[in-house]
Amino acid sequence: MRTERRDTAFYGRRKGHPLRAHQANLFEELLPRLRVRPEELKNPAALFPRPITELWLEIGFGGGEHLAHRARENPAVGFIGCEPFVNGMAKLLAAVESDHLDNVRLYDSDAAHVIAGLPDASVSRVFLLYPDPWPKRRHHKRRFVSDEMLTKLARIIKPGGDFWFASDIDHYVGWTLARILRSPDFMWPAANADDWRTPYEGWPGTRYEAKAKREGRTPSYLRFKRVQSATTSLSSSNLARAQTKRMTR
């Protein structure tokens, strides 16, 4: 989903086409039961009706295709999905209802609130898929990926955990890699070009990806690891710099 931020504020519109009657009903009845409150995140496992083995977070889930797919294939994992856009939330609510996904919890405002509320090292995987690239130079500061945000994500991701970033915009891919390389908290363990050209394991595809391909843009699928020590970070950064050179040739 195209996510937008200003520290802890969301940029852009929150609603598109009017909701159908059933979608509106889901907002009234289902969303309040699934909505997380940042002040309740100190014990994420308590959000779910049964024990979970891990916690995964998706930031800006768009139409919810990816989150619903992951929740179906990983019933033991607890998911928190953040999406301020009303129409995208409505689509995921419909999937949660139809597929009886009791391992999904939702937040319909800025993901920064959830990130701030989660405990240290509580999340095993974070997804940021096709975020808004804010292509104009004066808008680059609105991009979700920043040095500050990487520090915040590093706090909640377990050592050895994952941060997955996908984009069809080359400049945003380069922007993200540049900030990962100077972060002491993350490494990019790619070994060859297929590691960023090949979709993630179990990838269901999304409507944003399909649009990018129709318009002739090639997506990149980046997988970053939360490092466990400064030494690991230093060696992995050297490796990642070499990989970046190969990627941009």
Known catalytic residues? Answer: 132
With CA atoms as reference, report the closest residue to 127 among 68, 212, 182: 68
What are the DSSP calls for 202-243, one per residue?
Answer: T----HHHHHHHHTTPPPEEEEEEE-SSHHHHHHHHHHHHHH
Nearest-angstrom CA–CA distance, 19 and 85 = 12
Distance CA 20, CA 3 (A): 24
CA distance linking residue 181 with residue 74, whole number of Å: 31
Residue 202 sits at the vertex; the CA angle it makes with 196 and 203, to the nearest 5 degrees, is 60
